[in-house]
Structure 1
């Protein structure tokens, strides 16, 4: 575990080293103070030597100030190291997640990934900070104080022979018990985050179905699970405190009892007994600090395992193509392609697909819900990997390209239109960061965005809000289409992305495609036959297979599925007309 996390301390290892030195120095100077105090009592006060008392007093003040300075330094450097490690872990996870295929994302869930990048990383960085401060300070204090206590009185030091083993055994038992509890606690946090994410993301659906009470009940269930897991985990940890305090106070009483008898017998001086009492307290408090850090470390280990799971996850789709190979044209071929989402699934999602699409062609894809239309086009930019057969783009298998080069030549407008926080201009430039305002406006015109852009208060600089909440569904679709057009791709895929616009606007957009994207291969998945009727090729999908392909007139004669869709839609038009 430490071996996996160590590389992410790069850039902050010097602060870890300096923090360790400061913590050790702080403990040493703090432990020297009782020795000076013993001299003041046994020599200065006993002899009435005011000058000796003053010199030793100033020495104690100097040691306290030096110890304070080292303590401040330890806190400062440990904080820098801890927060630096946290930042590196978050950066590494986020960057690695960008390489994940959908299969990898689904394995963890979005809520769990968020927890691993926030709560889990926070627990790790806090543990590092506590470790530098306490796990260094405590052992140094424990060993040094024990040596000094033995130096003062071997007899009184025997009390540690009982107290320390008892505390160590008890701490070990607690660590074994709380490890699984903290793992369960983090899983409950995942569940709570998932409940919040689903509710906030789908709040419109919740309200439209008046399911607020149901969602509240779901959240309360996850919240109660987290409360119980927290109470069990931290309740177990808390029980260590009274037990340790009992051992500490019993040891102090024993030292005072036997030490007092030795003072009366003349075998021990009062100042040394005072120092001994201080060392007893410091030794046992050091063990308490070790136990506290150990508990935090137990939680951090559970969190570190979860973080390392993300960092060690192998992307399902690897980038092993030629860095210099670019997609030259939009020709697409499928040769005996089959696919299923899970290797052990009994049935194929796509089976034995053979298809050739020439560059610049417009292809329509129709089919019932669940006929694998979206899955088919997702294989083109390698959002999913074909299990058998070969998918080729530009005359080469898609695996010959790097993911960046391949996907940079393909623009997809998905069923779920996604916009990001920021202005319209910032969102559109996702398609082409170097696009001029003139090019942006041209893309807006092609996607019919200009029809509502003039009504926006700040035009292209209008803030869309989180997820584009300030625009309607149809406006969001047109903005996503404009973003794809601005990319000037070799292949443009529209996955039912004009469903929220009227037929007249749909026709305008398709006309703009023909005029502005003549060399681009256009694949249009649609529910309306009118959206693909004029396509160069129409595919009819049925249960993961291409049931028929051809132009409108041919399919009306040869494809019963196509004809039934057409008749149903035409009847709907006649009934409304």
Structure 2
């Protein structure tokens, strides 16, 4: 997965990668040539007392060092720039894929996991790429070049490399093999930390209302301790790396000096050659150590790459039509025929055999007990999810064939849990229409019964809104969400229990204003409160995902026991009549 991911997303930067390899090659060759020049100075300059020769070769070494520094800086610069671009592209790819997901796929992964995959997981892959550009490109060149240069200095002494390099490689390989499952577990536990923290921040009022502070602290402590345990396991394995590498390096140096001294004593080797050989040995082992440090990040990056690819390889159940239909005019007639929706692997469908017809100029209400599938039904219309059977049509065109831009412009939805974005009231309202004037914004606020509290704010339309709209009340949040939808002026209005946080007087005033605003549009209202929907032209009664009644309030009171039971749980017989 990691190789596939890097190959795919680094392809646009092939020119930069070629430049990085070239710069690393030059700086590594310069580093490899310096010990040979140093040996030449010792054997032909110091031993013979030739000062001029020492100066000349010293100047060559100085130029080589300068070339090494310049190329190293250039390689780090281009490597860092390419790695940061890779991170940007991966975050963008994950973000755009998640944006295409339906509610089903978002629920499958979970919000905390998607956040971790977009941030922490991408960061780990980005870090691996950066270390690869800085260390891994030069490490094999230095290792192979060092071996060749060491052979050039003394072949018998180079036989030590046949022992040293395999010992180091096997030792590091065993540690890395044990790190891979630990890193996967670490990422999963980071997901859990995010989930617990997110729940506690969003549910802080519930926690305090039920005095569950102690239990929630214990839950966070448990998740934190689990992450600490696996992190310590990884840390212990990583801590073994450096001592093993240093042990092998120091033992190798002692062996080279021991056997090299004997060869010098026997006249088979010169002092300069031993000095150069020792330098090449250090370069070889340093290259192995650099690769080791990089390989420390490989197991975690591989796990992160798998998690990123899981998101990128998941196709949305809501697919774009190959030949989208773009009708010249959308009137807003809504029809559901034999609609069924079933979650993958579920034994029973959420909705089954749903037939519904809503025309422009009519208000259709949907009511039912909790869990009867009302919200799911509404979500099928704007294609937040797709029906697993049957068809949903707008103006006799299956919504799966409609151009998504046309569908989103024709259908407006106020969800059950209205969400406001960080910004101002004006920026939130203009989500419905970026070109809306202030006059239009005040008009929809007036219809949504939100004008009064917005005018009371010192900044008016420029009043700040916190993320999620947490700095306004639930009723104010609902009214702003309704106003945002009204700005777009769709042909089909969908209200998913959008009046539940309003008092009865505000509810009644809002419905009166909406009736005038949506007189020529198709309106579908999901509500628990009978007073909100009793005047609807048609009321659909859902029970366990099936339509068990359809008609006006008066008709259903006389003929439908389920509806009558719901009504009498809220109103008296006299009020219901």
* Alpha-carbon distance between aligned partners in 2 of 1:270 and 1:4, rounded to the nearest angstrom: 49
Question: What does residue 190 of structure 2 align with?
Answer: 189
What secondary structure does 2:540 align onto?
Answer: strand
Question: What does residue 68 of structure 1 align with?
Answer: 69
* Alpha-carbon distance between aligned partners in 2 of 1:92 and 1:493, rounded to the nearest angstrom: 31
Question: What does residue 111 of structure 1 align with?
Answer: 112
Q: Is the 8 A contact 1:15 1:80 kept in 2?
A: no
What secondary structure does 1:65 align onto?
Answer: helix
> For residues 94-105 of structure 1, what are the structure 2 equivalents within 5 Å?
94-105=95-106
Question: What does residue 320 of structure 1 align with?
Answer: 321
Which piece of structure 1 moves more, 460-469 or 7-16?
7-16
Which runs of no fewer than 5 residues in structure 2 stay unpaired? none
Question: What does residue 449 of structure 2 align with?
Answer: 448
TM-score, length-normalised on structure 2? 0.96
What secondary structure does 1:247 align onto?
Answer: helix
2:331 corresponds to which of 329, 332, 335: 329
* Alpha-carbon distance between aligned partners in 1 of 2:379 and 2:259, rounded to the nearest angstrom: 81
* Alpha-carbon distance between aligned partners in 2 of 1:174 and 1:270, rounded to the nearest angstrom: 38
* Alpha-carbon distance between aligned partners in 1 of 2:333 and 2:570, rounded to the nearest angstrom: 32
CA displacement, residues 145-185 of structure 1 (integer Å, 9 cap, x when unaligned)? 11111111111111111111222222332332222221111
Note if 1:48 corresponds to 2:49.
Answer: yes
Measured after TM superposition, the shift of residue 353 of structure 1 is: 1.4
Question: What does residue 531 of structure 1 align with?
Answer: 532
What secondary structure does 1:569 align onto?
Answer: coil
* Alpha-carbon distance between aligned partners in 2 of 1:453 and 1:218, rounded to the nearest angstrom: 40
> For residues 363-442 of structure 1, what are the structure 2 equivalents within 5 Å?
363-442=364-443
Measured after TM superposition, the shift of residue 499 of structure 1 is: 1.2
> For residues 5-44 of structure 1, what are the structure 2 equivalents within 5 Å?
5-44=6-45
* Alpha-carbon distance between aligned partners in 2 of 1:230 and 1:315, rounded to the nearest angstrom: 34
Q: Is the 8 A contact 1:321 1:403 kept in 2?
A: no
Note if 1:467 corresponds to 2:468.
Answer: yes
Q: Is the 8 A contact 2:358 2:524 kept in 1?
A: no
Measured after TM superposition, the shift of residue 341 of structure 1 is: 2.1
Question: What does residue 271 of structure 1 align with?
Answer: 272
* Alpha-carbon distance between aligned partners in 2 of 1:512 and 1:384, rounded to the nearest angstrom: 31
Measured after TM superposition, the shift of residue 443 of structure 1 is: 0.7
What secondary structure does 2:547 align onto?
Answer: strand
What secondary structure does 2:464 align onto?
Answer: coil
* Alpha-carbon distance between aligned partners in 2 of 1:461 and 1:377, rounded to the nearest angstrom: 32
Q: Is the 8 A contact 2:341 2:389 kept in 1?
A: yes
What secondary structure does 2:272 align onto?
Answer: helix
Question: What does residue 81 of structure 1 align with?
Answer: 82
Measured after TM superposition, the shift of residue 325 of structure 1 is: 1.6
Question: What does residue 341 of structure 1 align with?
Answer: 343
* Alpha-carbon distance between aligned partners in 2 of 1:138 and 1:306, rounded to the nearest angstrom: 28
Note if 1:352 corresponds to 2:353.
Answer: yes
Which piece of structure 1 moves more, 225-234 or 67-76?
225-234
TM-score, length-normalised on structure 1? 0.96
Let me know the Cα RMSD of the aligned residues.
1.7
Q: Is the 8 A contact 1:362 1:536 kept in 2?
A: yes
> For residues 179-258 of structure 1, what are the structure 2 equivalents within 5 Å?
179-258=180-259
Q: Is the 8 A contact 1:321 1:399 kept in 2?
A: no
* Alpha-carbon distance between aligned partners in 2 of 1:246 and 1:431, rounded to the nearest angstrom: 66
Measured after TM superposition, the shift of residue 73 of structure 1 is: 0.8
Measured after TM superposition, the shift of residue 321 of structure 1 is: 5.6
Measured after TM superposition, the shift of residue 564 of structure 1 is: 2.9
Measured after TM superposition, the shift of residue 52 of structure 1 is: 1.6
* Alpha-carbon distance between aligned partners in 2 of 1:26 and 1:452, rounded to the nearest angstrom: 67
* Alpha-carbon distance between aligned partners in 1 of 2:273 and 2:226, rounded to the nearest angstrom: 54
Measured after TM superposition, the shift of residue 324 of structure 1 is: 4.5
Measured after TM superposition, the shift of residue 251 of structure 1 is: 1.4
Question: What does residue 135 of structure 2 align with?
Answer: 134
Question: What does residue 507 of structure 1 align with?
Answer: 508
What secondary structure does 2:524 align onto?
Answer: strand
What secondary structure does 2:383 align onto?
Answer: coil
Q: Is the 8 A contact 1:391 1:398 kept in 2?
A: yes
* Alpha-carbon distance between aligned partners in 1 of 2:227 and 2:569, rounded to the nearest angstrom: 51
Measured after TM superposition, the shift of residue 392 of structure 1 is: 1.4
Which runs of no fewer than 5 residues in structure 1 stay unpaired? none
Point out 4+ residue stretches in structure 1 off by more than 3 angstroms: 321-324, 571-574
CA displacement, residues 209-235 of structure 1 (integer Å, 9 cap, x when unaligned)? 222222211111111111111121232
* Alpha-carbon distance between aligned partners in 2 of 1:366 and 1:103, rounded to the nearest angstrom: 23
